[in-house]
A and B are shown apart, each in its own frame.
Chain A
Amino acid sequence: MLSLNINGANHSVDVEPEMPLLWVIREQLGLTGTKFGCGIAQCGACTVHLNGEPVRSCSLPVSSAVNQKITTIEGLTSDSSHPVQMAWKALDVPQCGYCQSGQILAAASLLKRIPKPTDKDIDEAMTNICRCGSYQRIRAAIHMAAGTGKGIGSVIHYAGPGAANAKTGISTDLEIDH
């Protein structure tokens, strides 16, 4: 039996020591917010915090996580109130959403390490893959959560139907702060 501390609760699991933490979390403990994406620590969908640091749980044997503090997306907050989660909601960051647990945990950890990250800091820390391409809004949401940006997720030029010019559709511009 291995002893794990996940989201503040202790669990005993009877698994092979080499079983990756991801599968223990998902299948043995039923916490499915942590996702399987690649199995080789490339995509980051399986990101969890190990003692506050982001790790890719698909490639971490459960034995190396014994008696350490593990936080999954379910344990980040109980009410989605982490500034990163708030910003994610405010900017409608997720598209399919599958990678977002990992993205949010990576971002939360970045902000803990660097409270006011630059774009370069974000580039270096946020190596998780998002296949839908929500990167621009992830970046904006991190800035929003950090208070380092005015939280404009997207630069959008859009003229409403009333203003539409039949030829090009462009007449007046409307920049939408979302």
Chain B
Amino acid sequence: MNLRRRLLWALGLGWGASPALFAQHVPQEQLLQPYVGFNPVQKGRVKLEIARLADNGFNVPLKVSVASPMTAQDHVLRLLLLSNRNPRPLMAAFDFGPGSDQVLISTRTRLGGSQTVYALAQTSDGLWWLDTAEVEVTESACLDQT
């Protein structure tokens, strides 16, 4: 969104053209493009676990794993956690190598409103893998949209 918004401003369209009051959901293609370019992204291998409801979004636990033998020939290179609603979409990036072990990560995230969280992984064969999860951030529900 930031990119699009800046683009709009650059084009002199500003608010008049963009009725958005708050951060809007970034479409998937636009969200992933900076990382995957024009390469295909497929569902599978990545598993993202996150509760369907979060109270205030300040501290939302999640767990993500990527199925991979993690050998020198076949391993996970990167894992990205992306938000389609946060002011900064990239929440975290993890780099692995053959010396890493099974990709099984838990962390706690900040989610700026109800959104889709993306876990995007690239394997050593260059392919991109994706899992997503919808999260309703309830505290801002009353304030969203208006």
A–B direct contact (CB < 8 Å): no
Show the binding face of A for B, using Cβ within 8 Å.
none
Q: Which residues of B contact A (CB under 8 A)?
A: none
